[in-house]
Amino acid sequence: MNVDTIKNGLVIDHIRAGCGWRIFQWLGLDKAPFTAALIMNVPSRKTGKKDIIKVDNIIDIDFSVLGFIDPNICVNIIKDETIVRKINMELPTRVQNVFHCKNPRCITATEHYVPSTFLLVDKEKGLYRCEYCDALYIAGEGGNPVETRT
């Protein structure tokens, strides 16, 4: 397989294997007018397999969302075919409108103008708490929160 060198753009590396497509779509790269490549199940010494996204364009990314989806992601910014900056993701302390609270009694379920907001309460476990109803969720699984209790 041959994927050309990025002249000016981004390489999103160390994506958990199988999560690349979700990020690719979230970034709107499936409809982009510029070159973008999703490479899946690439061999990795650290994790066995990983996904990589190459974008031949500088695009605006909400790094907190990438960190929520997978805190192991690394974004390389490329200029003139050279990496000029590496950005390592981490779990954000607060995420807003990334996913919705599944508690039917939460104000965000009935009042659609209220943003779904979650606060990081346990970095080791990736545990987030709904700002309004205190429901707990675990980050990861490609951005799909897993409800732990309400």
- What's the rounded mean pLDDT across residues 47-71? 89
- What's the rounded mean pLDDT across residues 6-14? 93
pLDDT score of 22: 87
Token code pair at residue 76: 């390389």
User: What is the pTM (predicted TM-score) of this model?
Assistant: 0.78
CA 32 to chain centre: 18
Q: Report how far apart, in Å, the C-alpha atoms of 57 and of each of 32, 79, 120, 136, 147 are.
A: 10, 10, 32, 37, 36
Say whether both 123 and 79 belong to one domain: no
pLDDT, the chain, mean:
87
Cβ–Cβ under 8 Å, residues 52 and 15: yes
Say whether both 70 and 127 belong to one domain: no
Question: How far is it, in rounded angstroms, from Cα 35 to Cα 135?
Answer: 40
Percent of the chain at pLDDT > 70 equals: 91
- Which one is predicted more confidently, 3 or 84? 84
pLDDT score of 58: 87
Residue 41 region by backbone torsions, left for phi larger than 0, else alpha for psi between -120 and 50, else beta: left
Say whether both 79 and 130 belong to one domain: no
Say whether both 84 and 108 belong to one domain: no
pLDDT band at 143 (very low <50, low <70, confident <90, very high): very low
Say whether both 65 and 105 belong to one domain: no
DSSP string of 131-144, one letter each residue: TTT--EEE--GGG-
- Per the domain annotation, does 1 fall within a domain? no
Closest to 38 in 3D by CA, of 63, 19, 66, 57: 19
| 141 has pLDDT over 80 | no
The 10s digit of each residue's pLDDT in 21-50 is 989 998 899 999 999 999 999 998 888 999
Characterize 30-54 residue by residue with b for buried, 16 or more Cβ atoms within 10 angstroms of its Cβ, and e for exposed.
eeeeeebbbebebeeeeeeebbbbb
Per the structure, the count of domains in the chain is 2
Say whether both 123 and 81 belong to one domain: no
